[in-house]
Structure 1
Amino acid sequence: MNAHDVKSADVVILPDAEAVAHHVAHWLFKLALAKTDGPFSIALSGGSTPKRLFELLAQRYIASRFPWQNVHFFFGDERHVPVDDPASNYAMSHAALFEHVPVPPENVHAMPTMGTPEEDAARYERELKTFYGADTLQAGRPLFDVVLLGMGADGHTASLFPRQPVLKDMTHWVSTCVPDDAPHTRLTLTYPAIHSSRHVVFMLAGEAKADMFARVRRGDDASLPSSHVTSEGDISFVVDQAAARDVVSEDLVSRDVV
């Protein structure tokens, strides 16, 4: 039975961050190859663990066989900074992945950051709707095949930060967020856009993630943005042993997500 929320999500525990990145890289490779009835769409995450994932996807063993022509890369969130800013998720993914592989430029959908945050969020939402072919998300026809997510020490995911109005936005697909405990105005997918997915995968590594992962997994704190992530498909946590430190193994449904 598919798990549609974080409390019932599958959990895969691996030795370390390198194993997490390898696991997800090979899973994405197999999943992308299997998609033959249309384009394969993925929303990328920022952070050190996804960066290693991107580097692995760029290695010849995978890159030479990955179906780049059929894969469309979107972004789960972005800091509203120039595309060459060190804080840019796009800049990181370009340096780690896109400049090394034969992905068509039109298949990489960076979040725009040249206008106002509100204008750019609306522009990216229009781009998603054009790709999707409809202005309304439809049950049974997910926008994304995969949404990759991380989790911050405050429980945020993508740029869905605590205490911010975006958490209540159930209309837009893309919105803005101005965190009160982190730098930069952000663009982010909203909960409805994330929900319209076949697979949501949280990638977590390190002891710094342990406490928050355990709290989100219990689902007993409604103030944590990650606790409210759902998918019309399935949700999985792929974590290393350090991040899983505070989670009781008996409470998990541990299995391979491949």
Structure 2
Amino acid sequence: MSLTILPDADTIAATALAAWERQASAAVAARGDFRVLLSGGSTPRRLFQLLASAPHDALPWDATHLFWGDERSVGPDHPDSNYRMTRETLLDTIHLPATQVHRLEGERDDLAGAARDYERVVAEAFDVPLDGPPPAFDLVLLGLGTDAHTASLFPHTAALAERRHWFVVNEVPQLATRRLTATYPLLNAARAILFLVAGADKAEALTRVRAPSGDVADAPARGIVPAGTLEWLIDAAAAGSGA
């Protein structure tokens, strides 16, 4: 695990862009494709804008497949949609083929069915069986909430205990909502996980996540222990006195 403290969110995004480029190059060289699990939030937004403004031929977009690690129970055009944020900041510029953009369908009435269908989408993309070990994404982007949640793995919610499914519907009573989310088994199978954390309001959560001991139920980001690399990019405000 590595942790890098940077001046601000813009520097985090620039550093994350370099990490994306490295992971993409290595993945395409080794396996022919680059598969990324995306997150929402303001810091990834800056990264997506940088990706969109980079020369198109500087990145292997023809071999890049985009997936989402969580989604709100809204449609793709809703202001709260993680997909919409990615579309507006990145997809509308790079114009990936639809076959390379794999959206979580948060608008469906049957969210459990949407989770199962998305597992099949992931399994087919990686050419692995649904009943086998979870596949390894080349890069997973994650953020950190003020309550120490990540993806839509919120404190004291049922999804924290899921060990069989790769995606589930998570009831989040503290927000009076339901979310689709990737689970620990899938997230922790990743070849590389990159946390992007900015803002003084994240300092207390970051301190709890990085403490020598603590309960995953209280700070779900503590449960991210990937088989591959784990890198935290945080700004000075989020670092506070805990980093």
Whether these two folds match at TM > 0.5 is yes
Deviations for 1:23-67, whole angstroms, at most 9, x for unmatched residues? 101220232123222211110010000011000000043x34211
Q: Which of the residues 28, 35, 39 maps onto 1:41?
A: 35
Shift of 1:136: 4.2
Q: Distance in 2 between matches of 1:175 and 1:168?
A: 11
| Greater helix fraction, Structure 1 or Structure 2 | 2
Shift of 1:236: 1.1
1:17 aligns with 2:9: yes
**1:123 alignment partner AA:** D
**Contact 1:72–1:108 (CA<8 Å) still a contact in 2?**
yes
Q: What is the CA deviation profile of residues 207-242 of structure 1, one whole-angstrom value per residue up to 9, with x for unaligned ones?
A: 011111011011422121111111110111100111
Q: Distance in 2 between matches of 1:186 and 1:227?
A: 20
Residue equivalent to 2:231:
236
Cα distance change of structure 1 residues 42 and 219 upon mapping to structure 2, 3 Å threshold: farther
Distance across 2 between alignment mates of 1:219 and 1:133: 38
> 1:55, 1:24 → 2: CA distance?
12
Task: Report 1 or 2 for greater relative contact order, CA contacts < 8 Å, sequence distance ≥ 6.
Answer: 1
Asked if 1:58 is matched to 2:52, the reply is yes
- 8 Å contact kept, 1:204–1:240: yes
Match of 1:224 in 2: 219
Which of 71, 77, 91 is equivalent to 1:84? 77
SS state at 1:242 partner: helix
CA contact (8 A) 1:178 1:184 kept: yes
Root mean square deviation, CA, Å: 1.5
State the partner residue of 2:144.
Answer: 151
The reply to whether residue 124 of structure 1 matches residue 123 of structure 2 is no
Residue number among 199, 205, 229 corresponding to 2:198 in the alignment: 205
Give secondary structure in 2 for the equivalent of 1:185. strand
1:3 alignment counterpart: none
Greater than 3 Å deviation, 4+ residue runs: 136-139
Q: Look up the match of 1:97.
A: 90
Whole-Å separation in 1 of the counterparts to 2:46 and 2:109: 30
User: 1:170 and 2:163 equivalent?
Assistant: yes
Task: Verify the 8 A CA contact 1:162 1:225 in the aligned structure 2.
Answer: yes
Which residue of the other structure, out of 223, 239, 247, is the alignment partner of 2:242?
247
Q: Structure 1: how far apart are the matches of 2:123 and 2:13?
A: 30
Gaps of 5+ in 2: none
Q: Report deviation, 1:137.
A: 4.7
Q: Secondary structure at the match of 2:173?
A: coil
Mapped to 2, the partners of 1:103 and 1:27 lie a distance apart of 20
State the aligned residue count.
237
Amino acid in structure 1 at the alignment position of 2:18: H
Q: Within 1, Cα distance between the matches of 2:132 and 2:230?
A: 19
Distance 1:183 1:89 in 2: 18
Aligned residue number for residue 184 of structure 1? 177
Unaligned runs of 5+ in 1: 1-8, 249-258
Q: Indicate the larger mover: 25-34 or 94-103.
A: 25-34
